[in-house]
Amino acid sequence: MLLFSKIKASALQMVLVVAVIIVILLFAFISLMYFQKRVALKHSNYTESIYSNHQVFEYLKTTDIPFGKTDSITLFSNESISLITKKQWGIFELLGVETKRNKELFNQIALVGESNLRRKALYLKNNNQQLILVGNTTITGDVVLPRLGVNSGNIGGVSYNKEKFIYGEIGQSETEIPAIINKKNITSFLNSYANDTIAFFDLKEDMTLNNSFTKKTQVFQRNGVVDIVTSSLIGNIIIESDTLIRVDRSTILKNVILIAPRIEILKGFKGSVQAFATENILIEENVQLEYPSSLVLFNDKVNGKIHVSESSTVKGVISYFSNSLKSNYNSQILLDTKSIVQGEVYCQGNLELKGEVTGSVYTNSFIVHQQGGIYINHIFNGGINSEKLPKQYAGLFFSNSSKSVAKWLD
């Protein structure tokens, strides 16, 4: 009987062990199922937040909202709540969309500009003068020209050498070039950005500053010349001088705004900036300004100039704004030999085009300084081609335009 009793006790112990193992396995299985369900729910909420974010950005392409913050729960009737933040950042709009579904949060920030799939190569103000093409000039794309149209000319014994004047359709222009509808927003931003949420920093050589657009704008202001040397400045940063800003090739700048009467980007620099001046902007040789950069000059004295030197590239916008009714024989924008602009040139003055514009040109008039002579409404060895500009390009705001993301930001 003792033998059988021991066998039964061992069997009971084995049953208990097996039962414990089964319980542990069941608990592990239930926990795994619960964890998988939570992960699936988390993934679903996050995916829904991303989808809602994209829906909001699509909505904002064709709908204008006020600056500041807007609760988009009035826009979309679903369980996701999106908060939209809109402000000016240079020539672009800065849009932030933050979407929350349950506890999952998804945030996106973008620079937004105008998108135009029916872009003109050239809009030349109707100033009762013909457009004269000389040398190796090539204009590809639809154009809008003065009533007197286009013809060939001769400078220093060099004549126009192409079979056609314009490789596209020709329309008739008005007495003013199309207006930039957010010009007031741009000037307001330059004059009042300090009223926004900002923090000041001390600019030094060899410093590194990477500031997210979800944080306060970092601002450096100085009376006198500002030299930016051997530094890395990225993101939500503004540098302002009351005299001159010089940017050395040893510097890394990305998405930074520069404000000064005079701005000089020195030879060999590569980066992306938005530069705003009231007197002169000089881009030296072999500079590469990456998209979306902008060079903007506000000058009512008609003696300021944006000069893009030989073999430099600007990907973005070059704009000269003036309220002056006076005219002279200077060039307010000079695109030198072998210079390239991929984007838009907007000039309320005289444009001297020796380089190439891949995109669009809007100008009051052209000018050529050659061999001691001055030639009005002439283009000598310049090029414009709207057909090569990527369709994803977003830039200046004109009337009746839709918006597109120029660049996603951190």
* Tens digits of residue pLDDT in 166-193: 999 999 999 999 999 999 999 999 999 9
pLDDT at 43 over 70: no
| Residue 146 shares a structural domain with residue 8 | no
Q: Are residues 220 and 325 in the same domain?
A: yes
What DSSP assignment string belongs to 272-321?
Answer: EEEEEESSEEEE-TT-EEEEEEEEEEE-SSS--EEEE-TT-EEEEEEEEE
Nearest to 238 by CA among 184, 268, 196: 196
Distance CA 149, CA 54 (A): 45
pLDDT digits (tens, 9 = 90+) for 193-206: 988 889 999 999 99
Residues 6+ apart with CB under 8 A from 204: 231
User: Are the beta carbons of 297 and 317 closer than 8 angstroms?
Assistant: no
Using the predicted structure, report yes or no on whether residue 75 has a pLDDT greater than 60: no
pLDDT of residue 39: 54
Write 236-239 long-range contacts (CB < 8 A, 24+): 236/211, 236/212, 237/209, 237/211, 238/193, 238/198, 239/203
What is the percentage of the chain residues whose pLDDT exceeds 70? 89
| Residue 301 placed within a domain | yes
- Asked if residue 384 lies in contact with residue 366, where contact means CB atoms within 8 angstroms, the answer is no
Dig out the tokens for 25 from the structure: 């396995």
Looking at per-residue pLDDT, the higher value among 231 and 104 belongs to 231
pLDDT score at 363: 98
Cis peptide bond upstream of 146, omega within 30: no
Residues 190 and 283 reside in one and the same domain? yes
Among 17-26, 174-183, 373-382, the range scoring the smallest mean pLDDT is: 17-26
State phi, psi for 235 to the nearest 5 degrees: 100, -135
Tell me which residue range forms the domain holding 111.
Answer: 2-115
Closest-CA residue to 353 (of 149, 142, 173, 134): 134
pLDDT of residue 21: 83
d(CA 208, CA 204): 9
Top-confidence residue, 65 or 49: 65
- Mean pLDDT, the chain, as a whole number? 89
Cβ pair 141, 121 in contact under 8 A? yes
Same domain, 13 and 161: no
139 within some domain:
yes
268 pLDDT higher than 80: yes
User: For position 1, what pLDDT does the model report?
Assistant: 47
Rounded mean pLDDT of 148-162?
A: 95
Q: Is the pLDDT of residue 70 over 90?
A: no
Examine residue 345 and state whether it is found in any structural domain, yes or no. yes
Instruction: Give the mean pLDDT of 91-98.
Output: 91
Let me know if residue 252 belongs to a domain: yes
The residues, any chain, with a CB within 8 Å of residue 389's CB and separated by 6 or more, are 119, 342, 343, 358, 359, 360
Residues in the chain: 410
How far apart are alpha carbons 127 and 146 in whole angstroms?
A: 7
97 and 152 in a single domain? The answer is no
Q: What is the spatial distance between Cα 383 and Cα 111, in angstroms, rounded to a whole number?
A: 29
- What pLDDT sits at residue 49? 56
CB neighbour list of residue 305: distance below 8 Å, 6 or more residues apart? 280, 281, 297, 330, 331, 332, 333, 334
Whether this model's pTM surpasses 0.75? yes
Whether residues 343 and 241 fall in one domain: yes
pLDDT surpasses 70 at 52: no
Q: Do 169 and 233 sit in the same domain of this protein?
A: yes
Given a contact cutoff of 8 angstroms between Cβ atoms, the answer to whether 374 and 408 are in contact is no
In a domain, 207, yes or no: yes
Separation of alpha carbons 336 and 24, rounded Å: 78
End-to-end C-alpha distance for the chain, whole angstroms: 80
In-domain check, residue 410: no
Predicted confidence band of residue 8 (pLDDT cuts 50, 70, 90): low
Cα separation of 249 and 253, whole Å?
A: 10
The answer on 254 and 203 residing in a single domain is: yes
State whether 332 and 358 are in the same domain. yes
Q: Which residue has better confidence, 17 or 252?
A: 252
Is the model's pLDDT at 104 over the cut of 70? no
pLDDT at position 38 is: 59
Which of 56, 81, 115 marks a domain boundary?
115
The more confident residue out of 104 and 184 is 184
Q: How many domains does the chain have?
A: 2
Q: What is the largest CA-CA distance in the chain?
A: 129
Q: In this structure, what token pair is assigned to residue 58? A: 């699509």
Mark which of 89, 115, 141 sits at the end of a domain.
115
Mean pLDDT over 58-77 rounds to 75
Mean pLDDT of 43-56: 62
pLDDT in tens, 336-356: 999 999 999 999 999 999 999
Q: What is the average pLDDT across 247-270?
A: 98
Same-domain check for residues 129 and 94: no
Question: Where a domain ends, among 55, 89, 115?
Answer: 115
Residue 74 has pLDDT above 60, yes or no: no
- Kindly state whether residues 131 and 253 are assigned to the same domain: yes
The answer to whether residue 376 sits within a structural domain is yes
Q: Are residues 187 and 331 in the same domain?
A: yes
Residue 228: band (very low, low, confident or very high) from pLDDT cuts 50, 70, 90: very high
- Is 407 contained in some domain? no
